[in-house]
Chain A
Amino acid sequence: MNAVRKRARWLAPAAVLLALAAVISARAEIPLAERRSGYADLAPDTKAMQDDDTSNPGMLAVLDGEALWKTKAGNAGRACADCHADARVSMKGVAARYPAFEPTLSRPVNLEQRINICRTERQQAQPFASESKDLLALTAFVGMQSRGQPIAPPADERLRPFLDAGREAFSRRLGQFNLSCGQCHDDNWGKRLIGNIIPQAHPNGYPLYRLEWQSIGSLQRRLRNCMIGLRAEPYEYGAPEYVSLELYLMWRARGLPAETPAVRP
């Protein structure tokens, strides 16, 4: 239902953008000094909602995550806290440098996947399903320990091919609308697509509470929304293509403060 509404909403503006795209030939990345979080585009009420931890609905998920952090699980009968102790210390800055290279898989994993590795290998429990309440809650809880820290993608040579793949995917035209991510988010940020301001597409607030979803959701869910809006076939949750895009988005947002759990319209 959501997807149908989105398509309808995007049809007209996409046609306008197509015309715009014909005028703009070469795209350029946004200069570092002009980068700004999606927070900058929020209405005052939504900013107030994010700023106050007792009115930010994302904090409800953080509370759930904190409880899970202390809950023993799996055949190992261990809680996250049994190994990682106080998350405020052990998880500080961790989310700001994910996706990171996972040697056992020879590819990068995002924070959700990293948590699930501990879930299966260390706790010997069933992995959390993508986008499940528990996985989002734990990711939001771990993510919040980096709040205010600058996004700091690791300078790891092994990540380079994946980063390049993500950059390439960001500029590739896709879907029936035949638009690339960059045509909106690099070339036309700050302009309006019907009522919505086109943000620069920074990943610094995820998982975040989106008012349209009426729930907390992951960065991949957001990317899925943009892909469906373009009438492109979204990837499966957890697909390596998403992780490469996430890696590029983190690199593109380097230095911006982490805001997890942010609030977006």
Chain B
Amino acid sequence: MARALINVPAKAKRGEVITIKTLISHVMESGFRHNQIGVRIPRDIITSFTCTYNGEEIFQADLHPAITANPFIAFTTIATESGTIAFTWRGDNGFSAAESVNITVE
């Protein structure tokens, strides 16, 4: 099971710029490496990351083979209203993980 760590402030002032940080466990096997007997290790990476704020997409990223294991993605947004910030990661071999956190905006 993929583990994820999310860092979003629990409370923010309306209009404030907040930083969102996410970290997820994943091998991010590039598909370019070979094992000890020369067999290519198949690619196994996260290919996309999406963040929604009360259902509206606010950040999206495509991930590629040169990204390290356990990708850490940080970005900012403007706190507009209280609600839910949700995250989805998708990748090779049907990989899918989701997390969400609540934020109170005053």
Given contacts A214-B68, A214-B69, contact A54 B3 (CB under 8 A): no
Min distance, Cβ A163 to any Cβ of chain B, angstroms: 36
Q: Which of B23, B25, B28, B69 contacts A54 (CB 8 A)?
A: B23
Q: Which residues of B (23-56) have their CB < 8 Å from a CB of A?
A: 23-25, 28, 33
Q: Is B72 among interface residues, defined by CB-CB distance under 8 A?
A: yes
Q: Can you list 15 contacts pairing A with B, beta carbon distance less than 8 Å?
A: A53-B5, A54-B6, A55-B5, A55-B23, A57-B23, A57-B69, A57-B72, A59-B23, A60-B23, A60-B25, A63-B3, A64-B25, A214-B68, A214-B69, A215-B69
| Nearest A residue to B69, CB-CB | A214
Given contacts A54-B21, A54-B23, contact A59 B69 (CB under 8 A): no
Min distance, Cβ A209 to any Cβ of chain B, angstroms: 8
Q: Apart from A59-B23, A60-B23, what are 20 other A-B pairs with CB-CB below 8 Å?
A: A1-B33, A52-B7, A52-B21, A54-B6, A54-B7, A54-B21, A54-B23, A55-B23, A57-B25, A57-B69, A57-B70, A60-B3, A60-B5, A60-B25, A63-B5, A64-B25, A214-B28, A214-B68, A214-B69, A214-B70
Question: CA separation between A52 and B6, bound complex, in Å?
Answer: 11
Question: CA separation between A64 and B25, bound complex, in Å?
Answer: 10
Interface size range of chain B in the complex: 10 to 19
Q: Which of B3, B6, B7, B21 counts the most chain A CB atoms within 10 A?
A: B3
CB contacts (< 8 Å) of A211 on chain B: these are 68
Interface size range of chain A in the complex: 10 to 19
Question: CA separation between A63 and B2, bound complex, in Å?
Answer: 10
CB contacts (< 8 Å) of B28 on chain A: these are 214
Min distance, Cβ A62 to any Cβ of chain B, angstroms: 9
Question: CA separation between A57 and B7, bound complex, in Å?
Answer: 13
| Nearest A residue to B24, CB-CB | A60
Contact between A64 and B69 (Cβ–Cβ < 8 Å)?
no
Question: CA separation between A247 and B5, bound complex, in Å?
Answer: 34
Question: CA separation between A55 and B70, bound complex, in Å?
Answer: 10
* B 2-24 to A, binary, CB cutoff 8 A, 1 in contact else 0: 01011100000000000001011
Question: CA separation between A228 and B24, bound complex, in Å?
Answer: 31
Question: CA separation between A214 and B70, bound complex, in Å?
Answer: 8
CB contacts (< 8 Å) of A55 on chain B: these are 5, 7, 21, 23, 72
Min distance, Cβ A195 to any Cβ of chain B, angstroms: 18
* B 68-84 to A, binary, CB cutoff 8 A, 1 in contact else 0: 11101000000000000
Min distance, Cβ A50 to any Cβ of chain B, angstroms: 13
Contact between B5 and A59 (Cβ–Cβ < 8 Å)?
yes
CB contacts (< 8 Å) of A53 on chain B: these are 5
Q: Which residues of A (56-82) have their CB < 8 Å from a CB of B?
A: 57, 59-60, 63-64
CB contacts (< 8 Å) of B25 on chain A: these are 57, 60, 64
Q: Which residues of A (100-122) have their CB < 8 Å from a CB of B?
A: none
CB contacts (< 8 Å) of B23 on chain A: these are 54-55, 57, 59-60
CB contacts (< 8 Å) of A59 on chain B: these are 5, 23
